[in-house]
Copies of this chain bind each other. A is one copy, B any other.
Amino acid sequence: VTIKTSDPVSRAFREHGLRRTPQRLAIARAVAANDRHPTVQDVHTMVRGDFPTMSLATVYNTLRSLVNAGVIADLPFAGGARFDSDPSPHINLVCSDCGSIVDAHEYDPMLTRLTRSVSSRPDFRVDGHRFDFYGRCASCARDTAKPAP
């Protein structure tokens, strides 16, 4: 299989010394191309089209590698982990009803300052972060507003 060597995913693999197997690249690209914060199952489903024999364990292992390399971020939830293709500081708006997770970038400057500040603490060496708000997205709030008139 010929593999493009110049895209962001390939570059990230190079920089982090990850082996560039077709499966791993497909998994990394699937997450990178998806801003819905997919679950492991989601990723497996996305990739299965091109790699029908790929096992769920491989998806788990690869996602773990990518998280350890800092290429993506994982967001553990009670019902299973979600993956965020953007590991830089931003807020996640998490809907408890429909499970949607939307990035809010309006607060990035504030969070960047905050991260810098916490990173300079002598008593803690920062290497990751997570900023979540939980609640109801617009459409779920609407649904709940007038359920049984």
CB-defined contacts of A117 to chain B, threshold 8 Å? 107
Number of copies: 2
Contact A128/B135 with A74-B78, A78-B74, A78-B81 known, Cβ cut-off 8 Å: yes
Q: Quick one: CB contact mask for A86-107 with B, threshold 8 Å, 1 for yes?
A: 0000010101100000001001
Contact residue range for chain A?
35 or more
Known pairs A78-B76, A104-B118; A134 contacts B123 (CB<8 A): no
A38 to B30, CA, bound (A): 36
Q: Which residues of B contact A78 (CB under 8 A)?
A: 74, 76, 81
Q: Say whether A133 faces chain B, with CB atoms less than 8 Å apart.
A: yes
By a CB distance below 8 angstroms, the chain B residues around A132 are: 129-131
Instruction: Check: A136 CB closer than 8 A to any chain B CB.
Output: yes
Which positions 100-145 of chain A face chain B at CB distance < 8 Å? 104, 107, 110, 114-115, 117-118, 121-138, 141
CA distance A130 to B137 in the complex (A): 17
Please indicate the chain B residues that have their CB under 8 angstroms from the CB of A122 in the complex: 138
> Can you list the 10 inter-chain pairs with the closest CB atoms, starting with the nearest?
A128-B134, A130-B132, A126-B135, A125-B136, A123-B138, A127-B135, A125-B135, A76-B76, A76-B78, A125-B141
